[in-house]
Amino acid sequence: MQTLEEKSGAGRYLISCVNPDKLNEFISTGYEDPSLQLIDTVGPIGLPHTAVYEMSHAKAAQLKQLFSTVGELKIEADQSLSMFEKQ
């Protein structure tokens, strides 16, 4: 059975970087792309190490390709956390 995210063609993705300046740069320029919706950031104020975005799966694939050539930023699907393992 497909999840709502799979049906809609969009989901939440984590974009991370060891260098907070690079991530801040991406966050500030990401606002220029209406297909990216910043949900939250993780890390100290002004020095985040991870940003949570809502975007289409196609956009995430495009960013993954771009990031693989640049090398510093990484993108991955956001996974729900649970105290209990699914069986």
Give the per-residue pLDDT at 4. 46
Distance (Å, whole) CA 54 – CA 44:
21
What sign has the CA pseudo-torsion 44, 82, 74, 26? negative
Distance (Å, whole) CA 17 – CA 34:
22
Q: What is the mean pLDDT of the chain?
A: 86
The whole-model pTM stands at 0.80
Q: What class does CATH assign to 9-77? A: alpha beta
Instruction: Give backbone dihedrals phi and psi of 64, rounded to 5 degrees, phi first.
Output: -60, -45
pLDDT confidence band for 7 (50 / 70 / 90): low
Q: What is the mean pLDDT of residues 15-23?
A: 93
Residue 6 has pLDDT above 80, yes or no: no
Span 35-67, pLDDT tens digits? 999 999 999 988 999 999 999 999 999 999 999
What residue ranges do the domains of the chain occupy?
9-77
